[in-house]
Amino acid sequence: MATVKMLLSDSTLSNIPDQIKRINDTKLSGFHARVGKPTNTNKTARVALYLNYRLGGAKGKQRNYHLGYYGERELKQVRKEVESLKGRIASGEDVYETRQQNIKQQFIEDTSPTVEALFQEFYTRFIKVHRKDPIEVERMFNKDVLPAIGGVKLKDITRRDILSKVLDPITDRGAGTQANKTLSILKQMFDFAVERDLMQGNPISTAKKKNVGGIEKSRTRALEFEELIQVFERLPKLGVSTQVIYALKFIALTGCRPIEVTGAQWSEFDFEKMIWTIPAERVKQNKGGERIHKVPITQNMIVMLDGLRASFSYLGSKYVFPSTSCTTNAVGEQPIDRHSLSRAVNRKQNELGVPKFVPHDLRRTMATRLGDDDIGADPIVVEKILNHQLQGMQKVYNLQEYMMDRKVALLKWESKLFGKARI
């Protein structure tokens, strides 16, 4: 390939001999023209214009900056651009890298999806894959996030938008913990967007929970025994549904988590062995964990189960606590929402006449009361009833299930609870 050194001008580039394939400009170092091959569609060879430069001395990175093709604009404009580029290069800028970043940013702006479109991809590819409770995240976004910023394009979303339109309103309604949970999921979603080249950076990467929902404190509320009796005496008189009342009683009697109770299915109960087996997908653990939870069935649990079966057998539902107010499914095709327990307690808090509590506090109450002198359950037995993993060497070497001890403790607790009043 013949290379010559000449002033790149219109006259030079309009009449290039066939044997010449490259022309280096005599005035602007690095500025050169390359002659391409004629094609079937373009009989005249195209002449590409480049600026060749090197950063960092003789061993530095070499770049060929494409300026376009001769004839696309006036040559004097190209030469002015080359002069400008060389000045920027002299100051240490990698103009090629700058342009690539600008192209990338322009592409992001031109193709930028909305927050709602991002959520759909994030939900499908990340949340449903890595979380045991994807429905909880979907509910969170449908309630607080998408109505506020769902239609905003990612290129336009700002930290201020997210804080003022999504997180502040959650905190202002007194749900600081929920605001912090939402912040965590939003951070994950925008990190996902950055990884997918949908955004240049996460707008809330440095946002802190303490400045959003505040510093969270572990709940320590355990109801006094008389408070527990009062709650269950008053609930039936306040128009609360049977499913909610019985689910709350199940939590108080067994120490199970609300989600373990509300999702219960009839197939999980073995009335011959008197064992309720909660499957791994409803047990609190990492996604993919295989730990199940076995709960001894007591006589008063059977009384409640019989009542539920009699009340809702007409639905033919597989769920022990079937929902009768579904909007997206037929009646009985899904269990009651565990959040319906919290909503019911919140609505009736004043009428219940006890200090504020949440359904999960019933689990803590049960665990606390098992340590009372009249029951005196061993701490390890209490941990097994709560389905907590033992710590330290106990976790490795103590593999006993303590089923008989658990049943004895639950029977004593049930006797105390039902002996005081028919809750």
CATH 2.40.50.140 fits 115-211, yes or no: no
DSSP 241-272: -HHHHHHHHHHHHH---HHHHHT-BGGGEETT
In this prediction, residue 174 carries a pLDDT of: 85
As a whole number, the mean pLDDT across the chain is 89
Give residue-wise pLDDT tens across range 168-208: 999 998 888 899 999 999 999 999 999 998 888 999 999 99
Percent of the chain having pLDDT more than 70? Answer: 94
Residue 420 in this model has a pLDDT that exceeds 70? no
- Whole-number pLDDT of residue 197: 86
Condensed to tens digits (0 to 9), the pLDDT of residues 118-147 reads 999 999 999 998 887 788 899 999 999 999
Assess whether pLDDT exceeds 50 at residue 397.
no
Residue bearing tokens 């509320």: 221
- For 47, phi then psi, to 5°, come to -110, 115
Q: How far apart are CA 323 and CA 248, in angstroms?
A: 15
Return the pLDDT at 327: 66
pLDDT of residue 396: 43
CATH classification number, 2-111, choose in 3.40.50.300, 3.30.160.390, 3.40.50.2300, 3.90.550.10: 3.30.160.390
DSSP 314: G
| Pick from 56-60, 221-225, 383-387: least confident | 56-60
What is the 3-state composition of the chain as percent helix, strand, coil, each rounded to the nearest 5? 50, 10, 35
**Once rounded to an integer, what is the mean pLDDT over residues 21-47?**
86
pLDDT of residue 393: 54
Domain positions in the chain? 2-111, 115-211, 225-420
Reported as a single tens digit per residue, the pLDDT across 42-81 is: 667 899 999 999 987 778 889 999 999 999 999 999 999 9
Say if residue 329's pLDDT is above 80: no
Please give the share of the chain, as a percent, with pLDDT higher than 90.
69
The CATH number of domain 225-420, selected from 3.90.1010.10, 1.10.3720.10, 3.40.50.720, 1.10.443.10 = 1.10.443.10
Tell me the three state secondary structure of residue 414.
helix
Specify burial of residue 368 (Cβ count, 10 A radius: 0-12, 13-18, 19+). Answer: middle
| pLDDT score for 1 | 61
Amino acid at 298: T
Across 151-177, average pLDDT: 92
- Whether the full predicted model's pTM is greater than 0.85, yes or no, is no
Is a pLDDT exceeding 70 seen at residue 263? yes
pLDDT at 389 over 80: no
Under the banding of pLDDT at 50, 70 and 90, the label for residue 385 is very high
